[in-house]
């Protein structure tokens, strides 16, 4: 008898938990399913290979490079038919410790890229001990900047940098090579209304940040902000 959809996602989650914390594993799985327009209940044997392929970039930040081949191999075994009467591997007793947090840069070109950057920002914040509202601030700001990059600059990069001293914080650097944001001062004052929507949301990012800086011009835009944890 084939396994049900819910069971398949449970198996994927169980493998992820061998390589990262339970919180990170659940967020990675959810963040992978959302861009694919799938849920744990709708993933069947036909969708499983696509889900496993999409998991690779989502797990990259939280799995040590030396362990990634092992993770990929264990995930691939889930697509192979189980031998009759052979039990599934037992769930881990405790989550494996993740790698040391380090600065990571994400290339943003598509909505899927934006989703991965948002998910990575939230997971990094949680891994640093950030509270729920702090992690939500980071995820919201990264999502807004990534989507602006796609819509108005053809894409860009999002760099996440964790810092523990002298203050614990997460720094985000969003950079693109677009045509810049016109009337930046008015945008940040809340008095500017663009017909194209360019710049909208930047004021929201500023309000979410504990430190905020933006430079823009005909060769691109650089947004640098911090959220203190």
Residue boundaries of the structural domains of the chain? 5-77, 104-228
Query: What number of CA atoms fall less than 13 Å from residue 217's CA on the CB side?
Result: 2
pLDDT at 82: 55
CA 158 to chain centre: 11
Query: Looking at 17-150, which runs of residues are DSSP E strands?
Result: 104-108
pLDDT at 218: 93
132-153 vs 111-127: helix crossing angle, rounded to 10: 160
* Mean pLDDT calculated for residue range 184-190: 84
Whole-angstrom distance, CA of residue 124 vs CA of residue 146: 17
pLDDT at 157: 96
Q: Is the bond leading into 41 cis (omega within 30 degrees of zero)? A: no
pLDDT at 84: 55
Give me the percent of the chain exceeding a pLDDT of 70: 84
pLDDT at 196: 61
Give me the percent of the chain exceeding a pLDDT of 90: 30
CATH (one of 3.30.565.10, 3.40.50.720, 3.40.50.1580, 3.40.50.300) for 104-228: 3.30.565.10
pLDDT at 93: 46
- Largest Cα–Cα separation, the chain: 68
pLDDT in tens, 49-94: 888 888 887 787 677 778 888 898 898 888 876 555 555 444 444 4
5-17 vs 68-77: helix crossing angle, rounded to 10: 160
Within the chain, how many helices (H) and strands (E) appear?
8, 5
pLDDT in tens, 3-37: 555 678 888 989 988 888 777 788 788 888 888 88
């Amino acid at each position: 008898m084939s396994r049900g959809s819910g069971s398949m996602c449970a198996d994927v989650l169980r493998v992820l938990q061998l390589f990262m914390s339970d919180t990170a594993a659940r967020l990675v799985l959810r963040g992978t399913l959302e861009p694919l327009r799938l849920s744990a209940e709708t993933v069947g044997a036909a969708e499983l290979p696509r889900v496993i392929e999409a998991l690779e970039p989502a797990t990259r930040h939280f799995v040590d490079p030396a362990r990634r081949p092992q993770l990929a191999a264990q995930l691939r075994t889930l697509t192979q038919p189980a031998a009759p009467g052979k039990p599934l591997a037992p769930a881990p007793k405790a989550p494996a410790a993740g790698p040391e947090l380090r600065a990571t840069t994400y290339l943003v070109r598509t909505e899927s890229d934006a989703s991965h950057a948002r998910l990575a920002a939230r997971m990094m914040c949680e891994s640093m001990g950030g509270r729920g509202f702090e992690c939500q601030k980071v995820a919201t700001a990264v999502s807004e900047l990534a989507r602006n990059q796609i819509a108005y600059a053809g894409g860009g990069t999002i760099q996440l940098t964790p810092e523990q001293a002298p203050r614990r914080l997460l720094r985000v650097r969003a950079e693109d090579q677009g045509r810049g944001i016109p009337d930046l001062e008015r945008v940040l004052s809340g008095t500017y209304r663009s017909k194209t929507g360019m710049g909208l949301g930047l004021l929201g990012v500023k309000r979410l940040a504990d430190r905020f800086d933006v430079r823009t011009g005909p060769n691109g835009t650089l947004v640098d902000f911090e959220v203190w944890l």
